[in-house]
Amino acid sequence: MNLAKKRIVVTGGAGFLGSHVVHQLRKLDCTDIFIPRSHEYDLRKEHDVHKMLQDFRPDILLHLAAVVGGIGANQKNPGKYFYDNLMMGTQLMEQSRLFGVEKFVAIGTICSYPKHAPVPFREEDIWNGYPEETNAPYGLAKKMMLVQSQAYREQYGFNSIYLLPVNLYGPGDNFDLETSHVIPAIIRKCVDAIRNNKKKIVLWGTGSVTREFIFVEDAAQAIIAATMNYDQSEPVNIGSGHEISIKNLAELIRQLSGFHGEIEWDETKPDGQPRRLLDVTKAKELFGFEAQTSLLAGLERTIAWYMAHPHVQGRIPT
């Protein structure tokens, strides 16, 4: 599919992942891009979604918007994270179908996988158990888009695809300690400790769990590749194919940031899912995607960005 002449809506297009996707689209000479803003359109509401689609009449809709956070934020907001994400996805896909949108790209989450899924996670295992409890409301809300996508393809012939990215990181990430994910949280704690002459930082859990991460620019390229070249009903994992323990990740960030103090682990706090690692074979086979940025290179760029933006709390535009 040639995207250059398409009218494209990117929900969440001003956010962390979305801003990188929009940048990639512009590199492909896409000029007709619309980013709905929350003060204009409440994407949880049918009326606002209808108005947004009526105002812009897109050929393609990329649904990247999400209400999301780390373990602590998920524990505090399970109802909000479930409702907001469920309603956005459901309303957007239904109204896109009614408006005759050519293609709908739904972005899911690795949090949808069962807590004890065999590692690496394969797409066919996504329904073989309940997600890890702290992320379950968010993960299940996002997984309902897969159900809707497959049902709509079967009944209406509606062309939608569903992608499952691992945790993202990179320049422009959310560094608010109340809502951030693990990489920006550790980076901020290390860099702020240096600035404030602190000798110790405290991190949640035991550090023994493992996680996979993908650099945000790589994830954006994967989404564009799938939008252009993938038109099937089965979900596809988007990741780097490499895992690291949180303890080793913290040590790596400590070294790269120049923090020489102690890392203390608060074992009264939850670890979350024991392991997260995706089988990324299908993305390479179906639309030729393979992550290019190593964790070391990506962390160096992310730490440098945060150091260059000393007053950042949450995400700011890159």
CATH class in words for 8-308? alpha beta
Consecutive H or E run containing 80: helix 78-98
Nearest to 295 by CA among 237, 246, 254, 252: 252
CA 142 to CA 126: how far, in whole Å? Answer: 12
Q: Is 156 a catalytic residue?
A: no
Domain range summary for the chain, segments of one domain joined by +: 8-308
- Where does the pLDDT of residue 129 fall: very low under 50, low under 70, confident under 90, or very high at 90 and above? very high
User: Which of 41, 81, 113, 138 does the annotation list as catalytic?
Assistant: 138
Model confidence pLDDT, tens digit, residues 235-289: 999 999 999 999 999 999 999 999 999 999 999 998 887 888 999 999 999 999 9
Binding residue numbers: 12-18, 142, 165-168, 181, 189, 204, 211, 271
E strand intervals along the chain = 8-11, 33-34, 60-63, 103-107, 160-165, 167-169, 200-204, 210-215, 236-238, 243-245, 262-266
Nearest to 68 by CA among 82, 48, 52: 82
Q: Per DSSP, what are the bridge partners of residue 107?
A: 163
Kindly give, in sequence order, each residue whose CB lies less than 8 Å from that of residue 314, ignoring residues fewer than 6 positions away: 174, 175, 176, 179
What is the mean predicted confidence (pLDDT) over 178-202?
94
* The pTM of the whole model exceeds 0.75: yes
Binding residue numbers for NADP(+): 12-18, 142, 165-168, 181
Task: Please answer whether residues 246 and 208 qualify as being in contact, where contact means their C-beta atoms are separated by less than 8 angstroms.
Answer: yes
What is the mean predicted confidence (pLDDT) over 126-134?
94
